[in-house]
């Protein structure tokens, strides 16, 4: 049980809401935001829901210099009955605290944070879009705010949650994408911050992504930073391969993000008695299985796109066309089931859904 009480200041000048068919990812924001402060003396305190407004920080605030920060991403979905519901927010809050630990940020109260998110989503419930594939993206994040240029953990923080109505990631449901294997740049390395959801991992990924896009690829496939042999992630998603009837995903090793959708995919495959294994897999093994005709499907998993089939994978100019460039059967089934659970049209045997209000 939480000992916190959230102060609410309603926004008296609500913004016009964008039309459902004009929604993009992360461009529009709702009328309210949640903020809570941290100081060494008081711990986390003063939780409040206030009108969405600029954050004002000293230019020496540590977030601007040393990037001590963590974030999360999850969504609220509206069912056809009008119920608003969250998908596994407990997993996101658990991970937020694991990220906090790696980044030397004080832990939050996970249960309270879920309550705060539910409260905020409820206040902005009119912003949850209801056309197919749309949802309300929820972005909790913590920033270091102490105005001090020494390299050390901040003594003050803000925990903030903002909300953004978002469209379907792919306009026509799911659609296979072209991916390039990245050989020069590295996203993360063992002993680094790859497992934490922290800004620096994303900043370091930009250059490879920009080059990849110029060459016509939607995302890059990251290899491990040590040997550049083992497959880690694709873009900002986890990655799965179906080889000879078995689904394989890189095992968590400290540099791979422990994705909530990744975990849900593994649980669903187990539930369906489809063989799934978490292990190390090299690019060479993947390519060999492709040449033998055993690579049946490949897909990324993440909150934004849910399941993103990989139709083409380019490794050092060796082009692999997977499943004839089409969405595979397992990818489709996972997408349909996960979105079905999220939108309330499928049974939820795992109790993944948390209702708002």
CA 209 to chain CA centroid, Å, is 17
State how far the Cα of 186 lies from the Cα of 351, in Å rounded to an integer: 37
Which C-beta is closer to its own copies: that of 61 or that of 310?
A: 61
Which C-beta is closer to its own copies: that of 93 or that of 143?
A: 143
- Using alpha carbons, select from 74, 259, 70 the residue that is nearest to residue 267: 259
Helix (H, G, I), strand (E, B) or coil at 221: strand
The distance of closest approach from Cβ of residue 333 to its own copies in the complex, given in angstroms and rounded to an integer, is 27
Residue ranges in contact with its own copies by CB under 8 A? 25-27, 29, 33, 52-61, 63-69, 71, 102-104, 137, 139, 141, 143, 147-153, 160, 162, 164, 184-193, 198-207, 209-210, 225-228, 235-236
Q: What are the CA-CA distances from residue 139 to residues 66, 147, 151, 165 (Å)? A: 21, 24, 27, 11
Residues 307/298, Cβ–Cβ less than 8 Å: no
The distance of closest approach from Cβ of residue 260 to its own copies in the complex, given in angstroms and rounded to an integer, is 17
Which C-beta is closer to its own copies: that of 185 or that of 287?
A: 185
Which C-beta is closer to its own copies: that of 197 or that of 262?
A: 197
The distance of closest approach from Cβ of residue 342 to its own copies in the complex, given in angstroms and rounded to an integer, is 19
The distance of closest approach from Cβ of residue 150 to its own copies in the complex, given in angstroms and rounded to an integer, is 5
Tokens representing residue 204 in the block = 């370091």
Which C-beta is closer to its own copies: that of 302 or that of 328?
A: 302
The distance of closest approach from Cβ of residue 152 to its own copies in the complex, given in angstroms and rounded to an integer, is 7
Tokens representing residue 152 in the block = 């050390």
State how far the Cα of 277 lies from the Cα of 273, in Å rounded to an integer: 12
The distance of closest approach from Cβ of residue 304 to its own copies in the complex, given in angstroms and rounded to an integer, is 9
Which C-beta is closer to its own copies: that of 118 or that of 187?
A: 187
Residues 194/257, Cβ–Cβ less than 8 Å: yes
């Amino acid at each position: 049980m939480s000992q916190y009480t959230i102060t609410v200041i309603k926004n008296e000048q609500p913004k016009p809401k964008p039309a459902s068919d004009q929604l993009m990812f992360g461009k529009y924001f709702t009328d309210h935001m949640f903020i809570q402060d941290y100081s060494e003396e008081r711990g986390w305190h003063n939780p409040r829901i206030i009108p969405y407004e600029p954050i004002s920080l000293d230019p020496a605030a540590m977030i601007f210099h040393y990037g001590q920060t963590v974030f999360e991403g999850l969504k609220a979905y509206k069912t056809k009955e009008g119920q608003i519901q969250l998908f596994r927010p407990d997993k996101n809050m658990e991970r937020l605290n694991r990220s906090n630990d790696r980044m030397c940020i004080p832990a939050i109260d996970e249960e309270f944070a879920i309550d705060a998110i539910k409260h905020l989503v409820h206040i902005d419930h009119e912003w949850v879009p209801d056309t197919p594939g749309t949802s309300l993206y929820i972005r909790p994040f913590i920033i270091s705010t102490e105005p001090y240029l020494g390299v050390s953990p901040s003594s003050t923080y803000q925990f903030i949650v903002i909300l953004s109505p978002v469209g379907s990631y792919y306009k026509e449901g799911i659609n296979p994408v072209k991916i390039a294997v990245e050989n020069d740049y590295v996203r993360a390395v063992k002993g680094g911050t790859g497992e934490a959801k922290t800004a620096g991992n994303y900043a370091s990924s930009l250059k490879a992504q920009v080059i990849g896009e110029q060459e016509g690829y939607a995302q890059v496939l990251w290899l491990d930073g040590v040997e550049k042999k083992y497959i880690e992630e694709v873009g900002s998603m986890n990655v799965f391969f179906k080889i000879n009837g078995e689904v394989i995903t890189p095992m968590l090793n400290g540099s791979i993000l422990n994705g909530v959708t990744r975990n849900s995919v593994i649980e669903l495959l187990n539930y369906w008695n489809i063989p799934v294994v978490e292990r190390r897999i090299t690019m060479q093994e993947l390519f060999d299985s492709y040449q033998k005709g055993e690579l049946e499907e490949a897909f990324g998993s993440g909150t934004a796109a849910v399941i993103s089939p990989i139709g083409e994978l380019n490794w050092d100019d060796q082009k692999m066309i997977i499943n004839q460039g089409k969405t595979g059967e397992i990818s489709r089934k996972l997408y349909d089931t996960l979105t079905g659970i999220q939108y309330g049209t499928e049974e939820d045997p795992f109790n993944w859904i948390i209702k708002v209000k």
